[in-house]
Amino acid sequence: MRTLFIAAVAAVGIAGGLHAADVKPAVVYDLGGKFDKSFNEAAYNGAERFKSEAGVDYRDFEIQNDSQREQALRNFARKGHDPIVAIGFSQAQAVEKVATEFPDTHFAIVDMVVDLPNVRSIVFKEEEGSYLVGMLAAMASKTGKIGFVGGMDIPLIRKFACGYVQGAKAVNPDIEVFQNMTGTTGAAWNDPVRGGELAKSQFDQGADVVYHAAGGTGLGVLQAAADAGKLGIGVDSNQNHLHPGSVLTSMMKRVDNATFAAFDDLKNDAWSGGVQVLGLAEEGVGWAFDDNNKSLITDDMKTKVDAATMDITSGKTKVHDYMSDSSCPVS
């Protein structure tokens, strides 16, 4: 019976492989939810762009708790959805399990590496984008003190912090950077009150620019910055519009492009598994410059950051990746 089932699944898989152009894409968001104005919303935007450009509808699911990840992925796979994009590092185990069960379905995971032939692992060089916003923060700061508020204390977030400090020190070697983490559990992504308090404590210590990498918690950070007349820096999506004039810039992580590419590649038979590392050179990360923060970014700042971008993409400047050796050369 079991072999029969596997054979049936394999047959369906092969049949599916023959019609690679008929994609039935699906997205599983992380705990922050589809409209977190940040990480997950970027994935949503990418999926929406695919829908309007390719005319193919997609299904999505917002998980409410950790145990739903696997169910959601398996459900989509069983219903023949392909490719299935899982957003967030915490989906890794679930993706690994379900991708093994459905070897002919294509999976993509953002922010984590799952070593299976049918999984595309998309990771970003957050340190490079953070380096650029660190430079901007250091140039915008009048007190010579800036802050960082992280969400959950994990290596990925340390990576943001490390790149940020490196960028700031590149502009001003004497700059003081306050670093705080919101917590050690998943709840740390969704605690704006605590985020606001952390930002206030950094302002009280003299910081006047604060960068957050904290999902929903970061909304409290940006709010506190706007209330106190200081500057905040957004993350993942372009958050400049949340408090125009009080958000210096946003470190953009192009999860939208990655999601779009995953859908589009399978549609065009150009799917590739393995690890994709997206940095500044691949336009996987960057900083946001639009009408909302035009007045905050001087020409001088822009020139310097553009020069640094060139240096990083050409390999002249190397930004240290915290996750490569779990330590940061500067603090």
User: Can you give the binding site for another protein, defined by CB under 8 A?
Assistant: 32-37, 40, 62, 64, 153, 178-181, 183-184, 187, 190-194, 196-198, 200-201, 204, 216, 219-220, 223, 242
Nearest approach in angstroms of CB 244 to another protein is: 12
Q: What is the spatial distance between Cα 98 and Cα 138, in angstroms, rounded to a whole number? A: 45
Instruction: Specify the residue, 77 or 198, whose C-beta has the smaller distance to another protein.
Output: 198
Helix (H) or strand (E) holding 178: strand 176-183
Strand partners of residue 287: 251
Q: CA-CA distance, 116 to 88, in Å (whole number)?
A: 17
Identify which of residues 73 and 181 has a Cβ nearer to another protein in the complex. 181
Write down the least CB distance from residue 39 to another protein, Å. 11
What distance in Å separates the CA atoms of residue 272 and residue 122, rounded to the nearest whole number? 11
* Strands laid side by side in the 247-253 sheet: 176-183, 145-152, 209-213, 231-236, 247-253, 285-287
Q: What is the largest CA-CA distance in the chain?
A: 71
**Minimum CB separation from another protein for residue 127, in Å?**
20
Closest CB to another protein among 80 and 206?
Answer: 206
| CB contact at 8 A, 291 and 77 | no
Q: In terms of CB distance, is 33 or 163 closer to another protein?
A: 33
Q: How far is the CB of 327 from another protein (least distance, A)?
A: 15
Query: Are residues 77 and 95 in contact, defined by beta-carbon separation less than 8 angstroms?
Result: no
Q: Are 250 and 287 in contact (CB under 8 A)?
A: yes
Nearer to another protein, 38 or 118 (CB): 38
Distance in Å, CB of 66 to another protein, minimum? 14
Smaller CB distance to another protein: residue 56 or 187?
187
Q: Shortest Cβ distance from residue 150 to another protein (Å)? A: 10
